[in-house]
Amino acid sequence: MSDTAKQATGAEVKQPGAAGPSRPGLALTLLASCALMIVLDSTVVYVALPQIQQSLEVSATGLVWVVNAYALAFGGLMLLGGRAGDIVGQRRILLVGLAVFGVASLICGLATSPEMLIGARALQGIGAALVAPTSLSLIPINFTDNAARNKAIGVYTGIAAAGGTLGLILGGVLSDAASWRWVFFINVPVVALVLLLAPRVLRESQPQRGSFDIVGAVTSTGAMVALVYALVRTSTKGWGDPVVLACLAVAAVLFTVLILAERRARQPLLPLRLFADRVRASGFVTLLFFPAAFAGMFFFLTQYFQGVWSYSALRTGFAFIPAAVLVLVAAILSGQLVPKLGPSVVAGIGALLTTLGMIWLTQISADGGYVTSLLGPLAIAGFGAGLIYSSVTASIMSNVAPEVTGAASSVLQAVQQIGPALGLAVLVTAAGTPADPVEGMRRAFWVAAVIAALPAVLALFNRRSRTE
């Protein structure tokens, strides 16, 4: 029986000689804490930007780079970070990444100039690129039982997906109660605690001997940086911007070189056999397009709350709590549903719910009420997102060979990083610049509904192929 068949039927796919951690609850807490920290630092800084600008006298362009320096380093080095875990050891690379992330967070909090802060944010992104794929890779290594693994993945993905909203709230609370510097300082004790406990609690993966794929590392990093920068720039400069077009062309050339090189590499950074499995390949596609729609919902509703309803940044964060809570609830519930219904069915249900939520949002108006017009779609979309993230992540990570766990995790994380940037580029273009901003948001939500429906089509396709 193939690995894919075993996963589909609920049979366990174990590593030889593997055993679960002696303290599984603590192990999952440490790994989920890593995911939460990484996601938090993608959004926690947003609310603190006005204070940062005033304190360090940062220009408008500098503020953009406070955000983008993290995103570029994070997205650009993601594939490298995951594969390094396969070769050196997932836990070892996780610890290195945490140390880098913790030191960078401390420097961010102590920054005395815009240049110092932007450089430290880039260093944070490097640490995040090592932590994100390895923390996820360590779940199938430490939870080899099928049911325990699905539950752990559900908790991990739910916390990670809800972390963005928590970042908005935490950023507002820390900035108001203390200082913008504490949105970075808060990472330091968490990192120290995980560094202390992880070697005692988490099992290490089996390092893969061999040479490191230098060509793959250079081309994948260059391609990811060019692509992420182009998509980030598109949201403000448009698709016709010469720099955007040049970066997209560079990314296309480098990705082509990467694929050609990986076909010949003895130990490729990006094993192409990851995409040979139809279920896993469609999972990667789902995690590329679905976050594009879901991130668009947060982007436009943040503008709606603050620009139309005059909410404060902190109140805006609290407005998203129902979606964040239901993402977590659905992700945990997904761990129980996947063994019974299969990941494709669970993902399909999630996609349909999220699509319904996006269609509901196309009816927003300037004079609507939170409970009557927004609570429903936020709840439905959040619950659907939790089902998708958890079930698709489980389908990708549960049947992957141990020696390429890091590579699979890094591709998964990379497409999730590209997805929101791609979604904002497309949805901002769809919204345009109408006299009535709410009308532009309605157009964007129609496009988001179409994007969110794609996983439902893929789920149906996978279901039929397995039946056949």
User: Does residue 100 surpass a pLDDT of 80?
Assistant: yes
Residue 368 CA to residue 251 CA, distance in Å, equals: 43
pLDDT of residue 463: 61
Residue 314 CA to residue 325 CA, distance in Å, equals: 17
User: Does residue 400 surpass a pLDDT of 60?
Assistant: yes
User: Does residue 12 surpass a pLDDT of 50?
Assistant: no
Taking the CA atoms of 230, 236, 242 and 245 in sequence, report the sign of the dihedral they define.
positive
Q: Tens of pLDDT along 33-53? A: 998 998 888 778 877 787 888
For residue 383, which of 361, 423, 413, 351 has the smallest C-alpha distance?
351
Whether 23-203 and 271-468 share one fold: the answer is yes
Q: Tens of pLDDT along 305-342? A: 888 898 877 788 888 899 989 998 998 899 889 888 88
pTM metric for this prediction: 0.80
Per the CB < 8 A criterion, the answer to whether 455 and 286 are in contact is: yes
Residue 20: pLDDT band with limits 50, 70, 90: low
Residue 32: pLDDT band with limits 50, 70, 90: very high
CATH architecture, range 23-203 = Up-down Bundle (1.20)
Q: Which segment of 116-130, 221-235, 445-459 scores lowest on mean pLDDT?
A: 221-235
Q: Tens of pLDDT along 123-175? A: 999 999 999 999 999 998 898 888 888 888 888 988 888 887 788 788 878 87
pLDDT of residue 121: 93
Element (H, E) at 359: helix 343-361
User: Does residue 449 surpass a pLDDT of 90?
Assistant: yes
Q: Which fold has domain 271-468?
A: Growth Hormone; Chain: A; (1.20.1250)
Q: Tens of pLDDT along 248-286? A: 999 999 999 989 988 887 778 788 888 888 888 888 888
Which amino acid is present at 330? A
Per the CB < 8 A criterion, the answer to whether 166 and 186 are in contact is: no
Domain boundaries, the chain: 23-203, 213-266, 271-468
Residue 105 CA to residue 89 CA, distance in Å, equals: 24
Number of separate helices (H) and strands (E) present in the chain: 18, 0
User: Does residue 7 surpass a pLDDT of 60?
Assistant: no
pLDDT of residue 6: 43
